[in-house]
């Protein structure tokens, strides 16, 4: 059997192979300016991220762990350094659960069951609630659009270009910290913490919006390597107005059953 080959086949095949070859080529990025003082540049970006002291608004939180995903809509209030209040919304956007915490303790109130839970603000107890082992400080900073950087003083700092961003490495015996910075805005877009040689968790900050001259990421993705848990925080509205400290105090409701945080078990 003889096949007749259309005269247009060869040009089309050649174009397809050429396009595939081009697609496989690595993308070239314009070299970024050499930093005369990398430590000063990094410190300036960290200071910019730390100018916010109060954040409140509406946010959606999605948590994926153990093959299961849960999503909640939340009203939240956070104040530096360790105050947080979250109201998880249920049917008809009515509060279904209240959560408050500071450096000394945290409280949870489940309205439907009239159950009030108390505990210490440890990373293990945070895991009982969200399935991700994070310190309270790390949770608060997440709602502030800031990575939980460990003190960089007297640490060895180096940098290189990673695609179109600066990538800083803060080295120490306990483990390295990697910080990605957008050179156009000086904002931190990514962060990874290593515990010795193993990655502990990774943050990605995106969808930055300008609020009266202040850039804030409206989407934050967190991946915890140890718990193999992913969390995505997406903000629907934001306010940077001062928050009354009284908002973070929650008394035991009348007739509520009081339990300890240990009774909740650990979420995986």
CATH number of the domain residue 46 falls in: 2.50.20.10
H-helix or E-strand spanning residue 215 = strand 214-224
With respect to residue 75, please indicate whether it lies within any of the assigned structural domains: yes
Give the pLDDT confidence score for residue 26 in this predicted structure.
Answer: 56
172 forms bridges with which residues in the sheet?
none
Q: Is residue 67 part of a domain?
A: yes
* 16 domain residue, yes or no: no
The answer to whether the CB of 116 falls within 8 A of the CB of 109 is yes
Per the CB < 8 A criterion, the answer to whether 203 and 209 are in contact is no
Asked whether the beta carbons of 233 and 94 are under 8 A apart, the reply is no
Residue 265: the pLDDT is: 58
Q: Mean pLDDT of successive 10-residue segments in the chain (268 residues)?
A: 40 39 61 94 92 95 89 95 94 90 92 92 86 88 92 84 97 92 96 92 96 92 90 95 94 92 66
What pLDDT does residue 66 have? 80
Residue 16 has what pLDDT? 42
Q: What is the pLDDT of residue 92?
A: 81
Phi-psi region of 128 (alpha: psi -120 to 50; beta: other; left: phi over 0): alpha
Asked whether residue 30 is assigned to any structural domain, the reply reads no
Residue 40, helix vs strand vs coil: helix
Number of domains in the chain: 1
pLDDT in the model for residue 152: 72
Alpha carbons 132 and 139: distance in angstroms, whole number: 10
In a domain, 177, yes or no: yes
The Cα-based distances of 3 to 6, 7, 238 in angstroms read 10, 12, 66
DSSP 156: E
Distance CA 74, CA 241 (A): 18
Residue 22 in any domain: the answer is: no
Q: Is there a domain that residue 92 lies in?
A: yes
Residue 133 and residue 226 in contact, taking contact as beta carbons nearer than 8 Å: yes
Range of the domain at 60: 38-264
Q: In this structure, is residue 1 part of a structural domain? A: no
Who contacts 212 (Cβ-Cβ below 8 Å, separation ≥6)?
none
Task: Look at residue 21 in the predicted model and tell me its pLDDT.
Answer: 44
Q: d(Cα 86, Cα 131) in Å, to the nearest integer? A: 16
């Amino acid at each position: 059997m003889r096949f007749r080959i259309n005269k247009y086949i060869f040009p089309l095949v050649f174009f397809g192979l050429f396009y595939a070859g081009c697609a496989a080529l690595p993308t070239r990025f314009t070299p970024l300016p050499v930093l005369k003082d990398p430590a000063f540049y990094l410190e300036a970006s960290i200071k910019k991220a730390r100018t916010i002291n109060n954040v409140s608004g509406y946010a959606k939180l999605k948590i994926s762990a153990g093959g299961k995903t849960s999503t909640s809509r939340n009203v939240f209030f956070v104040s530096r350094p360790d105050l947080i209040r979250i109201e998880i919304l249920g049917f008809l956007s009515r509060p279904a659960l209240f959560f408050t915490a500071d450096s000394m303790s945290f409280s949870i109130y489940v309205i439907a069951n009239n159950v009030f839970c108390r505990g210490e603000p440890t990373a293990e107890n945070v895991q009982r609630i969200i399935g991700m082992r994070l310190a309270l400080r790390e949770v608060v900073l997440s709602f502030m659009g800031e990575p939980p950087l460990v003190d960089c003083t007297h640490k060895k700092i180096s940098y290189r270009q990673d695609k179109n961003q600066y990538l800083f490495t803060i080295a120490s015996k306990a483990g390295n910290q990697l910080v990605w910075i957008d050179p156009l805005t000086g904002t931190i877009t990514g962060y990874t913490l290593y515990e010795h040689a193993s990655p502990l968790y990774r943050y990605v900050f995106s969808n930055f919006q300008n609020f009266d001259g202040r850039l804030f990421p409206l989407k934050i993705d967190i991946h915890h390597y140890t718990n193999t848990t992913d969390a995505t925080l997406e903000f629907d509205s934001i306010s940077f107005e001062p928050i009354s400290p009284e908002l973070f105090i929650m008394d035991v409701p009348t007739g509520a059953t009081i339990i300890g945080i240990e009774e909740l078990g650990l979420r995986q």
